[in-house]
Amino acid sequence: MNRAAPPRRLRPSRPLVVVFAVLIGLPAACTVWFEGIAPVDPAPFLATIEALPVPSTWEVVHTQTQRDYLLGSRVDRYYFVDGEPQEVAPVVQQVLRSSGLEIFFPDYDTDRCDTPSPGARPAASCPVTRSGTCQEIASAGPVSCHIVAFRWLSQEPPLLERLFVYVSPRGGSVDIGVGKEHRLVDTANRVLVRISADRTTASSFWSSPTPRAS
């Protein structure tokens, strides 16, 4: 007597299993990407720069918003200012402080001269004389200034809003914008003030876990 064969169990096909897994996992993967990997929204950085009480005589030349998966998010604004760099720098610090930002002063020697390799001729830009946030290249050479400011966003995790300000030597041509928006512009005997805003962690802020307040 022949026995009836047991019913065969239906197994889902492999393509259907793959499609189902993708449909379930894709939303979670997207959430992880946009929250943990994708660069942050640069809109708050632009709002910070917009809120700075810069003098009305500063001419806005260009504003660029960057949101790059490798370089992160940043906003740059460029101004032309009539004045000497060492005169503009204190105004920049006042503007930053009035917005609730703290000035960060890195430690460096007042006079620095890079040691040339054996047999090499000394560089013409030696020494670099620093005064406050400004530096003069060689004797009576061009003066430029760099100001770094920050504001705590949270302690846990320790996040900071960071602003870099570069004040160029007076006169000549300067670089405006980066990437596709880059161009060379004549200053008409003025200085360029570039304000860059981004976000960073305390541990990577100039390799200092606790930035020193001004």
Flag whether pLDDT at 74 surpasses 90: yes
Global confidence as pTM: 0.70
- Give the pLDDT confidence of 157-195 residue by residue, as tens digits: 888 899 999 999 999 999 999 989 999 999 999 999 999
How confident is the model at residue 34, as a pLDDT?
A: 45
Cα–Cα distance between 4 and 1 in angstroms, integer? 10
Residue range 111-120: average pLDDT?
50
- Give the pLDDT confidence of 21-31 residue by residue, as tens digits: 555 655 554 44
Flag whether pLDDT at 32 surpasses 50: no
DSSP class per residue in the chain: -PPPPPPPPP---HHHHHHHHHHHHHHHHHHHIIIIISPPPSHHHHHHHHHS---TTPEEEEEEEEEETTTEEEEEEEEEESS-HHHHHHHHHHHHHHTTPEEE-----SEE-PPPPTTPPPPTT-PEEEETTEEEESTT--EEEEEEEEEEEEETTEEEEEEEEEEPPSSSEEEESSGGG-EEEE-SS-EEEEEEEEEEEGGGSTT-SSPPP-
Closest CA to 195 of 159, 169, 175, 165: 165
